[in-house]
Every structure is written in structure tokens, then in C-alpha cells.
Amino acid sequence: MASWKKILVEGDNTNLGSANLTQSTASRTYTVSGATSSLSIKSEHGGNLAHFVSGSVNSGNDLVTLSAGVVEVAGSSSAGAGTLRFKEASSNGGDFINLTVPNLSSTYTVTLPGSSPGGNNKILESDSSGNLSWISTPSGGGGSSTTINNNGDNKLITGSGTADTLEAEDNLTYDGTNLAVASGGIHLDNNQKLSVKNTSGAMRTLAFANTSDQAVFNFGFNETLINGGSGITLNGPVTANEFIQEHSSGISSTGDYGDGADITYLGSSVTSVVAGKIYYYNGTTWALYSTAVAASQTSLLGMAVGSTMSSGFILRGFVRPSLLAAQLTAGQAVFSSSSNGSGQATSTAPTTGYQRVLGHAVSTSVIYFNPSVEYIELS
């Protein structure tokens, strides 16, 4: 004989104890009426899974209590991760917040704080076990404010001996383009190098001090070009592997000279001279050289660079002289003649007066100016 079952119909009193409800495939709604009426759903072990209380939170706000030890929102292969949704009232738009999980490699537990934040600007911090607590300052993260003394535009910041305090340097600035050191210097220790990259990306050393207390400059460069208007002043002896005088380029006009030429500004003044002509120094000024003047044979000779004495005079080097009508003969000695313009260069030796070799022609227009200290008096 089949056992009797309790069937609930509309209007039945449900305070008679528990009843088993069978849900058909069609949708069905169960309504709990009364100001504080409740409905509990229990597991087969007798524990509450959910408890519904009508109007228990303020007026008209129902309460749902999930009383089980663990409430699980499980995902599926088709729906993805399980999601816990908090949804606002439909009258407010029905927006919601989803809490979900990523694909996990292992299970872990996060425990909420046991008290309220207790103030503004609090954040959650966890320990290694996943226990959360409200804090104002992250552990190990500083969090206190840092003071910058003497702060100002473009000043670089350095450390100080005081905690949470930095220093802005007056003498060390960077404006986004240039790093400037207003006073003091840049010091490199232990044979360290000051280096730059060339246009190909290769590293080249500008300067370093070696272990013999020697200053090494431009190590690794093929050559060094110095374009300063006043040149270089060296105090002390100079040792060089070689000195090179350039004669293949830049000598196109009368008075032009090649790189490496010796130039003097001895007796410089605004007195007019002729570029490319040869002059001798008489102790106070420069006079035009002539094979007819004995004093010019024993004096220092130079070739004018420009139109005034202040432009300087070439003492030795590859130059383009002021020429006589006859061209120079490459490889031959160079002289000067009083005929057809004193102080001009020619490959023709003088036949009267004095003969003094002034250098040698390397082409029909360029000579290596290197006056001899000896001369011959012609009969």
C-alpha cells in the first residue's frame, strides 16, 4: 500500500511541520504571506540551505539567509566560471556587479576583516594566509610623505642623511636637453672612462686617467679635430707619434695654407700686407723680402696669411704663394726675385743680389715653405 503524502494547495496552513514539495517541469511560484512569515529549505541531513523571511529588514525588504556551511556557485564548461551577482532594483536600471574567479591552479581562502574600516582612506592588506585587514599605510611601502629641500625647476634630486628627505641641487641641473654642472666637477674613480658613441653606435673614450697617472684623451678615435678659435695652449713638454701637415685640400687661394702649418703673430698690427707675399721680421715689424736687401737674408721669414699683419705669418708649411708670371716647377727649389714684384715666389733662381732657398714646389701653385738659414751673395 502506498503511503500518504501531504499535498499543499492554495490557502493551506504550512505550520504543520515539514513537507516534501515536488517541482514539476513548469515554472511555479511559492509565496510566503505575512509580516514575518518564513520559509526554510533544508538538506537531507537536516541543515538549513536557505531561509527566506518576509519583511524582516526594514519595511518591505525581505531577507534571504544562506545557512549552509559552504555556498557554492559552480561554473560549467559551457557557462564558464561561477558568478555571484549583486543586482540593483529594476526600477533603478537593473545594473549589477558580478564577482567571478579566473582559472585557478589551486584552492585558497580569503578571510574578510573582523571589523569595519573605522576611518577614511583605508585599504585592505592580506597576510600570507589570506587574512584581510584594514590599514592606512601598506606594510614595507613607506607611505609617509617625502620632503624635497630647496626644490626648483630642472634641479636634479639627490639623497640625504635624513629619512624621507631629498635634496634639490643648485649646481646640478637638467633641462631635458643639457646636463649642467654650475660649480665643482665630474669625478670618475678607479681608472673609469668618460665615453661616447659615434654615429655608428661604437663606443669611444673621450678621456681617462691610466694607472701611470697619465691623462689619455680620445682613445679609439681615428683623429681629433679641434676647432676652437684660440686653439690649444699646452703648458709643459709635448710628445707626439707624428705631426702631419696637410697639403692636398683647402689651399685654393693666395695666402691659403694646409693643416699643421706653423703660424706666428709676432709683431701683429693693422699694417697692410699682401696675402701670399714673403716678408722678413726686422725686430719690430715685418718688411717685404727682397733679394737685393742684405738684412732680409739673415732675418726670420714669413708668408702673409691675410691683408694685415694681425692675420699672422706662415713660418713653415704647405702654402699657396703670390707668384711671379712664371709658374712653379713641381719638385724644384723656390726663390724670390726683386724683379717683377718683390716677395713673390718663383722656380727661377736670382742672378744678382742674394740667393736664398725659400722651400720647394709641390705643384705649379703650392709650395712647402721652409726658408733656409743660409744664403749666397751673388757676384
Mean pLDDT of 83-105: 85
User: Looking at the predicted structure, is the pLDDT value of residue 223 above 70?
Assistant: yes
Strand, helix or coil for residue 188? coil
pLDDT in tens, 293-352: 888 899 999 999 999 999 999 999 999 999 876 779 999 999 987 665 589 999 988 888
The pLDDT value given to residue 378: 86
Could you please report the per-residue DSSP string of 232-301?
Answer: ----S----S------SSS--STT-B-TT-EEE-TT--S-B--TT-EEEE-SSSEEE--TT-GGGGSSEE
Q: What is the DSSP string of 136-184?
A: SS-TTS--S--EEET--TTEEEE--SSTTEEEEEEEEEE-SS-EEE-SS
Average the pLDDT over 193-221 and give the result: 87
Query: pLDDT tens digits, residue range 11-49?
Result: 555 555 555 556 556 666 666 665 556 666 666 666 656
CB 66 within 8 A of CB 59: no
* Chain centre distance of CA 367: 49
At 67, the pLDDT band (50, 70, 90 cuts) reads: low
Q: Mean pLDDT across the chain, nearest whole number?
A: 81
Write the burial class of residue 314 (CB in 10 Å: 0-12 exposed, 13-18 middle, 19+ buried).
buried
pLDDT value of position 340: 52
Domain boundaries, the chain: 147-181, 187-236, 262-377
pLDDT digits (tens, 9 = 90+) for 128-161: 899 999 988 665 555 568 899 999 999 989 998 8
**242 pLDDT tier (thresholds 50, 70, 90):** confident
Look at the block and give the residue holding cell 695652449: 233
Cell 713641381 locates to 330
Q: Give the pLDDT score at 289.
A: 92
Average pLDDT over residues 64-86: 69
